[in-house]
Amino acid sequence: MEAYLINLAIYQALLLPIIFFSILYYVLGFTTLFISMPRYRFPKIRDEDLPSVTVQIPVYNDPVAIRCVKKCLQFNYPKNKYDIIMADDSTDEITKNIIDDFAGRHASVRVVRRGGRKGYKPGALNYILPQTKGDIICLFDSDFVPKKNFLRKLVAPFVQDENVAVVQSRMSFTNYNTNIISKFAGTLLIMYHNCIMPIGSKLNAIFFCGTGGAIRKDILLKAGGWNDKSITEDADLSVVLLEKGYKHVYMHNLTCAGEVPFTLKSFLVQQTRWAYGMTRIFVERWKTIFFSKNFTLSQKGMITYITTGYVVAPIVVLVAITGQLGWILTPPKPFLISDILNFMLMFAYTSGFIFLGVIGIKRDGKIGDFFKLLLAAFTIGIVLAFTNMIAFFKAVLGMKSGWIRTPKMANLSILQFFRKLFGRQEK
C-alpha cells in the first residue's frame, strides 16, 4: 500500500509540469490560429540589382550531393553572379570520385577538402569562408533539392533591407511517406515550420535552420563565423545575430525539399543531436538571453522556449514509468464511469502537443495522417523522450557529444550501384 501511495504522489507531482507544457503548446497552437502566415511578396528584381551569391554544400560521404548541385546549376539566376562550393569532408573514395568527376565537368562548381573533420559541419563552413566570393551565402544540406526559382526568391529580402542578416525558407520533404518514422520525423518539422516559426517571425525570433536558407557574408564575418564548438551551430549563430539587432526573415511560402530520417536509429540520432545542441546554447548563453538589453521581452521568451524545450523529456520519461507502475501497484477496485471521465479529462489537459501537431499537419494538407501521428507519439515518442533525456542531462552537465551524420536514403542506391560497378571492373 505504501509503495502505491508513494508512486501516486510522485506521478501526480510530475503531472504538474506536464500540464504546464501542455498548456504552453495549447497557447502556441491557438496563437498560430490567429496570426497570418508570413507570406513574403516577391518583388521583381532586375538582374543587375541581384547580389552575388555563393552556394555552399557541406558533404560527408553523401554522393546524393550531386543531385543537389545539379538542381543549383539550374537556378534562373545570372550565371556570372553565383558559384557553388562543395565542402567535402568525405572519407569514402567512391563518393570522392563521383564528386570530382562531376565538378571536373562544371567550371562553376568547386570542391574544397581540408583533410579532416575538425569542427564537423561548422568547421568545414569556416574553412571555406575565406574562399567564398559571394556577398550572400546560400546553404544546402546534401539531400536538398531546390527548385529553379528558389535562389532568386530567397535573396529578395537582402536586396530590400540591408539590416536583414538571415533568410529562411520552409522545409518540405522528399521521403515523408516512406514509413511511420519518416512521417513522425516530418511531422515534428511541420509543427515547427507551420506553428513555431510564424510566431517567431512576428517577434523577430527566427532561428536559422542551417539549410534551405541564406546569410549575409559580411555579417557572418563580423559575428566571428560559425561556432565550431556547437553541434547546432545554426541556432547558436541565430542567438548571436538577433542579440546584435539584425533582422531574420522567414518565408513560409517558399519551400525547399530535403530528407527526413527513415530508420529509428537515424531519427533518434538526429533528435538527440538537436536536444543536446539546443540545451547547450541555453547553458552557455542564458545570461545574454535573460539580461541583454538588445532583446525585447518577447524575443527573450521565444528564444528561451526554443532552447529549453527539451527539459520536458526527463519529465515525460518519469511520468511514463510511474504511470506504468501505477497500473501494477494500484489495489483492485470496481471500474466506475467516473474513471473514464477522469481519464478523458486528464488526456485533454495533457494533449497540447497533439493539438499543436494537428494544427501543423492540417496546414500542410496532411490531416489524414492524424492517427499515425497519435500512434507514433505514444510509441516512438516515448523512446525519443528517453534518448532526449540522456542528451539533455549530458548538455546540462557539460559532457561531450560528437556530430553523427544522419544517413541519407538516396545515398543507399547510389553507393550500391557504384560499388557493384567498380567491383565488376576490378574482376
Q: Is the dihedral of CA 181, 185, 188, 189 positive or negative?
A: negative
Q: Is 381 helix (H, G, I), strand (E, B) or coil?
A: helix
Neighbours of 362 (CB within 10 A): 13
Share of the chain above pLDDT 90, in %: 81
Task: Indicate if the pLDDT at residue 235 is higher than 90.
Answer: yes
The alpha carbon of residue 337 and the mean position of all alpha carbons in its chain are separated, in whole angstroms, by 43
Question: Nearest to residue 140, comparing CAs of 192, 39, 67?
Answer: 67
- Reading the block at residue 82, the C-alpha cell is 553565383
Quick: pLDDT tens for 12-48: 899 999 999 999 999 999 999 988 888 888 889 999 9
Measured CA to CA in angstroms, residue 297 lies from 200, 205, 289, 304 at distances of 13, 11, 10, 11
pLDDT at 225: 97
Question: d(Cα 182, Cα 179) in Å, to the nearest integer?
Answer: 5
Quick: pLDDT tens for 303-337: 999 999 999 999 999 999 998 888 788 777 776 77
Quick: pLDDT tens for 154-198: 999 999 999 999 999 999 999 999 999 999 999 999 999 999 999
pLDDT at 426: 41
Question: d(Cα 42, Cα 34) in Å, to the nearest integer?
Answer: 24
Structural domains of the chain, with CATH:
1-420 (3.90.550.10)
Measured CA to CA in angstroms, residue 374 lies from 91, 176, 335, 378, 382 at distances of 40, 16, 26, 7, 12
Question: Nearest to residue 369, comparing CAs of 181, 215, 94, 140?
Answer: 181
